[in-house]
Structure 1
């Protein structure tokens, strides 16, 4: 069984999330939004690679102002 954490959310925010997810329970609505956010972050990381892999920073060229 997973550990539960209680988080206080503004009522207007909870209603917006419930409308967005189509749920009647604010707990379920917020959980769906958080799970979706985490899944999107993992997919993005899988597509772009880890920021610490060093490939991106070595490909960058320092800014050179236009000559003339």
Structure 2
């Protein structure tokens, strides 16, 4: 996998390390990024199920009105 080097504020990285319980700055940031991506996938899956459920309701034949 390709690697990317970035610069971050040291205080920000230390806070992430403490919150994540990780001793390495590299690992701490990687944990945060992976969690962010996983949350995005879970959100997509949840909204996809909801949207599909709404489509199924819309697809059902409606009773004649009036």
Same fold flag (TM > 0.5): yes
Quick check: which one's helix share is greater? 2
Q: How many residues align?
A: 52
For the residue of structure 2 that corresponds to 1:9, the secondary structure is: coil
What is the CA distance between 1:7 and its match in structure 2? 1.0
TM-score of the superposed pair, with normalisation by structure 2:
0.71
Larger radius of gyration: 2
Distance apart, 1:6 and its partner CA:
0.5
TM, length-normalised to structure 1: 0.69
Structure 2 Cα separation of the partners of residues 35 and 24 of structure 1: 17
CA distance in 2 between partners of 1:9 and 1:29 (Å)? 12
Q: Deviations over 1:11-66 (max 9, x none)?
A: 000000000111111010000000000000000000002xxxxx7xxxxxxxxxxx
Q: Which runs of 5+ in 1 are unaligned?
A: 50-54, 56-68
